[in-house]
C-alpha cells in the first residue's frame, strides 16, 4: 500500500524536492552575493581610509616642513622616555618657533591683546600647555622653564582664562622666585579678578625686584585706588610718571583718583595731560562713569572739545 501511494504521489514528491533544492540554492546565492557585496564595501571602505591617510600624511609632512615645531611636539608624546632636560629643551624649542615671547603684559595695548597672537601660535601654545600639564603631574613638579610658563600664562590671559593664567605664572615663580615679569603679570591678572589685596602684594614683589618698572607702579596705584587708599595711589602714580612721563594711562588713572578725592582742578589737569599724550582718553572720559559728575561741567567740556 505504501509503495502504491508513493508511486501515485511521485510527481508531487519530485516537485517538492526540486522546490526545496531551489530554495536552498537561492538562499546560498543570496548569501554569497550579500557576502561579496559586503566584501566589496569593506574593500572600498579600506581603500578610502588608505587614501585619506595618505592625504593626511602628505598634509602633515607639508605642515611639519612649514612649521618644524609640530614635528618637535611629537617628541613629547612619549615623555616618560625623555629626561627633564630633554623635555625643557623641546618645550622651549617649540615655543620659540612661535611669535609669542615671555614679556610683561602691556596695559597700553591691552584692548588689542586678543589680536596679538595668531590662531596658529595660540593653538601651538595650547597643545604645549596641555602636554606640559600632563608632564608636571607625572613628575609632581613644574618641568618647563620659567619663561615657558610665562608665555603660556600670557596666552591664557589673552584668552580671558585668568585662573589658568595665574596657575602658569605661579609655576614660573616656583622655578624663579625673583621673576619680576611673572609677579607683575600675576598682579594684573588678579586685578582682573577683583582680588586687589593679592594684586597689590604681587605688584610690590615686582617693584621690589625691578624698581624702575613704570607699569608696576601704575598698576600698584590702580590696586590702591580700588582699595580706597587714594593718597598712596597718587604717590604710586607719581613714581610711574617719574620713570616714564609719557605714560598716558598713568595720567588718566591719576585723574580718576583726584576725582574720587573731590579735587576737580587736579583731575582736569591730569586728564588734559592724558589726552595730550593719547587722544583716545578723550572718548574714554566721555563714557567713563568716574567722570559722570563732570559730563555737564563747562571746564570738562572745554578739555574734550
**Does residue 40 sit within a domain?**
no
Q: Which of 209, 227, 262 is the last residue of a domain?
A: 209
CA pair distance 198, 206, nearest whole angstrom: 13
Positive or negative: CA dihedral 56, 61, 66, 69 = positive
Cell of 199: 594684586
Selected residue with higher pLDDT from 35 and 280: 280
Q: How far is it, in rounded angstroms, from Cα 227 to Cα 239?
A: 19
In SS3 terms, 29-59 reads as HHHHHHHHHHHHHHHHHHHHHHHHHHHHHHH
Distance from C-alpha of 135 to C-alpha of 115, rounded to nearest angstrom: 30
293 assigned to some structural domain: yes
Domain finish residue from 181, 209, 237: 209
Q: Domain check: are 105 and 167 in the same one?
A: yes
Do both 73 and 144 map to the same domain? yes
Is the CB of residue 99 less than 8 Å from the CB of residue 118?
yes
Residue 263 domain-assigned (yes or no): yes
Rounded mean pLDDT, 71-97: 78
Residues 65 and 205 reside in one and the same domain: yes
**Inside any domain, residue 294:** yes
Whether residues 178 and 106 share a domain: the answer is yes
**Is 16 inside a domain boundary?**
no
Domain at 265, CATH number:
1.25.40.10
Query: In terms of Cα–Cα distance, which of 230, 225, 251 is closest to 240?
Result: 251
Region for 100 from its dihedrals, namely left if φ exceeds 0, alpha if ψ lies in -120 to 50, beta otherwise: beta
| DSSP 8-class letter at 227 | T
Grade residue 1 by pLDDT with cuts at 50, 70 and 90: very low
Q: What is the model's pLDDT at position 163? A: 96
Residue 205 and residue 66 share a domain: yes
Q: What is the mean pLDDT of residues 204-232?
A: 96
144: in domain: yes
What DSSP character marks residue 245?
Answer: T
- What's the pLDDT band for 223 if we cut at 50, 70, 90? very high
CA distance 229 to 254: 13
Which residue range is the domain that position 297 belongs to? 211-305
pLDDT of 241-254, one tens digit each? 999 999 999 999 99
What would the pLDDT profile of 124-139 be if each residue is shown by its tens digit? 888 888 888 888 998 8
Residue the block writes with cell 590662531:
119
Q: Tell me how crowded residue 96 is: count the other CB atoms within 10 A of its CB.
A: 14
Q: Residue 100: how many CB atoms within 10 A of its CB?
A: 21
Phi/psi for 76 (5° steps) reads -85, -10
179 and 64 part of one domain:
yes
Cell of 175: 622655578
**Higher-pLDDT residue of 43, 130:** 130
Instruction: Please check whether residues 197 and 89 belong to one and the same domain.
Output: yes
d(CA 203, CA 221): 10
Highest mean pLDDT pick, 104-108, 113-117, 228-232:
228-232
- 105 vs 102, 108, 221, 237, CA distance in Å? 9, 9, 16, 18
In a domain, residue 45? The reply is no
88 and 173 assigned to the same domain: yes
| 205 and 236 within one domain | no
Q: Each residue of 162-193: pLDDT tens digit?
A: 999 999 999 999 999 999 999 999 999 999 99
Do 160 and 280 belong together in one domain? no
Residue the block writes with cell 593719547: 278
CA atoms within 13 A on the CB side of 6: 3
- Nearest-angstrom CA–CA distance, 130 and 117: 18
Residue 37 lies in a domain: no
Judge if 199 and 76 occupy the same domain: yes
The three-class DSSP label of residue 13 is helix
Euclidean distance between CA atoms 184 and 173, whole angstroms: 11
From the CB of residue 21, how many other CB atoms can be counted at a distance below 10 Å?
A: 10
Task: Provide the 8-state DSSP code for 279.
Answer: T
Q: How many domains does the chain have?
A: 2
Q: Are residues 135 and 113 in the same domain?
A: yes
Question: Which residue among 165, 184, 209 closes a domain?
Answer: 209
Amino acid at each position: 500500500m505504501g509503495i502504491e501511494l508513493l508511486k501515485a504521489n511521485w510527481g508531487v514528491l519530485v516537485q517538492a524536492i526540486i522546490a526545496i533544492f531551489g530554495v536552498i540554492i537561492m538562499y546560498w546565492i543570496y548569501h554569497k552575493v550579500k557576502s561579496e557585496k559586503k566584501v566589496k564595501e569593506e574593500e572600498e571602505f579600506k581603500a578610502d581610509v588608505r587614501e585619506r591617510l595618505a592625504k593626511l600624511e602628505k598634509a602633515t609632512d607639508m605642515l611639519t616642513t612649514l612649521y618644524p615645531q609640530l614635528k618637535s611636539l611629537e617628541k613629547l608624546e612619549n615623555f616618560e622616555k625623555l629626561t627633564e632636560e630633554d623635555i625643557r629643551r623641546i618645550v622651549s624649542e617649540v615655543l620659540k618657533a612661535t611669535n609669542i615671547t615671555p614679556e610683561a603684559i602691556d596695559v597700553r595695548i591691552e584692548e588689542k591683546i586678543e589680536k596679538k597672537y595668531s590662531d596658529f601660535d595660540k593653538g601651538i601654545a595650547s597643545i604645549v600647555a596641555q602636554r606640559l600639564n600632563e608632564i608636571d603631574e607625572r613628575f609632581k613638579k613644574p618641568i618647563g622653564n620659567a619663561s615657558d610658563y610665562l608665555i603660556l600664562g600670557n596666552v591664557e590671559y589673552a584668552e580671558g582664562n585668568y585662573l589658568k593664567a595665574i596657575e602658569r605664572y605661579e609655576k614660573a615663580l616656583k622655578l624663579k622666585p625673583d621673576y619680576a615679569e611673572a609677579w607683575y603679570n600675576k598682579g594684573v591678572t588678579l586685578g582682573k579678578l577683583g582680588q586687589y589685596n593679592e594684586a597689590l602684594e604681587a605688584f610690590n614683589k615686582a617693584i621690589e625686584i625691578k624698581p624702575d618698572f613704570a607699569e608696576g607702579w601704575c598698576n600698584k596705584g590702580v590696586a590702591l585706588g580700588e582699595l580706597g587708599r587714594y593718597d598712596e595711589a597718587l604717590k604710586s602714580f607719581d613714581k610711574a610718571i617719574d620713570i616714564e612721563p609719557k605714560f598716558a594711562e598713568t595720567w588718566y588713572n591719576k585723574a580718576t583718583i583726584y576725582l574720587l578725592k573731590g579735587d576737580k582742578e587736579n583731575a582736569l589737569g591730569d586728564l588734559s595731560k592724558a589726552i595730550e599724550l593719547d587722544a583716545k582718553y578723550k572718548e574714554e572720559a566721555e563714557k567713563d562713569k568716574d567722570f559722570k559728575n563732570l559730563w555737564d561741567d563747562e571746564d570738562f567740556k572745554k578739555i574734550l572739545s
